[in-house]
Amino acid sequence: MFEFLFVIGIVLAFYGYSVMKNPHVWGDQGRDEIRPENWNGYVAHNGQFMMYSGFFLAALAALDVIFTFASWLYCLILLGGLALLFYPLAHWMHEKEGKWWPWPKHKKKK
């Protein structure tokens, strides 16, 4: 399990770093929902989130080799850490776009 989590963490970190340095790597995901003047900042924050969550996942994988975590504690730390890593993106979205959720909400048809 360590090898899988470590590799996934490093890949996420590399992808996030690439997105931060070159927004074109991100593609057009979410472009319709974000104002054009905020697009590069949005992509940079998403890249930062991916990079930090990748480092976090790789660190947890390395700690899993050193210590034997109980499954529930491991999941709790992972989910709590990802929630804390997601907060800066949500805060930035709320300031720049007026909403905290960066993905489109589909309206129900009646």
Instruction: Give per-residue pLDDT as tens, 14-45.
Output: 888 888 888 777 777 777 777 888 888 888 88
Residue 64 amino acid letter: D
How confident is residue 110, by pLDDT bands cut at 50, 70 and 90? low
Angle at 81 between CA 43 and CA 25, to 5 degrees: 20
Count the neighbouring beta carbons within 10 Å of the beta carbon of residue 103.
9
Predicted confidence at residue 101, as pLDDT, reads: 60
Classify each residue of 17-48 as buried b or exposed e, where b means 16 or more C-beta atoms within 10 Å of its C-beta: bbbbeebeebeeeeeeebeeeeeebbbbbbbb
Task: Report the interhelical angle of 39-66 vs 71-97 (nearest 10°).
Answer: 170
pTM given for the model: 0.57
Where would I find the H helices in the chain?
Answer: 2-21, 39-66, 71-97
Q: What is the mean pLDDT of residues 87-106?
A: 67
